[in-house]
Amino acid sequence: MKRFIYLSFIFAAFAACNLEAAPDANKTSTKSYDARGIVRQIADDRRKATIQHEAITGYMSAMTMEFNVRNTNELASISPSDEITFKLVVGENDSWIEDVHFVTHHVSDVTNNTFVIHFPTAELKPGDLLPDCAFIAEDGSTVHLSDFRGKAVAFTFFYSRCPLPDYCQRMSKSFSEARKLLLATNAPANWQLLSISFDPEFDNPQMLSSYASLYRNGDTNRWIFAAAPANTLSGLEPRLDLMIMRDGDNIMSHNLRTVVLDPQGKIFRQLDGNQWTPQQLADAILQAARGQTNSVP
């Protein structure tokens, strides 16, 4: 797997919370928010647009995010560096933008000057040993990956301030559903879930515990929430092709990585993006816990 780092004059070209995100087909009740911002990138199929937006009253602070687009015709006359107004529609499991209107074009922007730099890859492959690393758990203790030797470990990344339901929140919901599936089967007991925040300054133990309560329903069985210190993140990012874009202390964007380790601490499977299902994760954990061979390339 190649690692590509995209650099632009102002903004990186990867998504706010996931490049691979797609709207959930099961639309539930939604809320709509008025928004305004400058377009930084539009996907070739016009199904996604990266927008540097102002604060969205009642929902989220100003940042640069990639949004799903339901009606691609709304972007037909929109280009990078265009300032637009739009509505952000948020449902229980998905979000998208609509009612897009052109305001003006910012001729001084050079967003299209994007450079691709190829670095020798450091990303690990299935079968490779993931070096041990430490995290600060929700109870304030330090936990290491090596603490779980003998167990299959599935971990994913999130940060509690991530606002959209199709990104970090979906990771936590999917972990919750995968745990239910595992606990409901005659599965071996040697498995563990680990949700890792890459926002340790904000996601302290108290915040982690509060956030975890939204998804664990008071049951901490085999699921720990923790935060990764900066030195841990710097070691994990190149090995997992994890990319996090920051503006000072604020996280502007990141991609999604979910990893299953076998009982020896080797990578059994990596699930990128958010399109995998809880059943797929549960199956991978079971296979790793039972010592089966990874059949996915």
Per-residue model confidence (pLDDT) at position 244 = 87
* Residue 296 within a domain: no
Last-in-domain residue among 115, 138, 173: 115
Q: Are residues 175 and 241 in the same domain?
A: yes
Determine the structural domain holding residue 278 and report its residue range. Answer: 124-289
* Residue 180 within a domain: yes
* Residue 219 within a domain: yes
* Residue 294 within a domain: no
* Residue 9 within a domain: yes
Last-in-domain residue among 98, 115, 132: 115
Two tokens, residue 207: 């915040």
Per-residue model confidence (pLDDT) at position 296 = 62
72-105 pLDDT per residue, tens: 999 999 999 999 999 999 998 899 999 999 999 9
* Residue 240 within a domain: yes
* Residue 110 within a domain: yes
Two tokens, residue 35: 């928004």
Q: Are residues 184 and 221 in the same domain?
A: yes
Which pTM was predicted? 0.77
Q: Are residues 85 and 23 in the same domain?
A: yes
Per-residue model confidence (pLDDT) at position 107 = 76
Contact 65, 6 (CB under 8 A): no
- The enclosing domain of 19 has a CATH number of 2.40.50.320
Q: Are residues 268 and 224 in the same domain?
A: yes
| Closest CA relative to residue 241, chosen from 47, 22, 5 | 5
Contact 176, 222 (CB under 8 A): no
* Percent composition of the chain: helix, strand, coil (DSSP 3-state, to 5): 20, 35, 45
Q: Are residues 15 and 108 in the same domain?
A: yes
Q: Are residues 93 and 210 in the same domain?
A: no
Name residues of the chain where pLDDT drops below 70: 1-28, 108-121, 247, 252, 295-297
Q: Are residues 258 and 195 in the same domain?
A: yes
- The enclosing domain of 161 has a CATH number of 3.40.30.10
Contact 117, 135 (CB under 8 A): no
Last-in-domain residue among 115, 137, 154: 115
Q: Are residues 164 and 138 in the same domain?
A: yes
| Closest CA relative to residue 16, chosen from 197, 195, 252 | 252
Radius of gyration over alpha carbons of the chain, in Å? 20
Q: Are residues 132 and 222 in the same domain?
A: yes
Q: Are residues 253 and 210 in the same domain?
A: yes
- Total domains in the chain come to 2
Q: Are residues 61 and 103 in the same domain?
A: yes
* Residue 139 within a domain: yes
Q: Are residues 145 and 102 in the same domain?
A: no
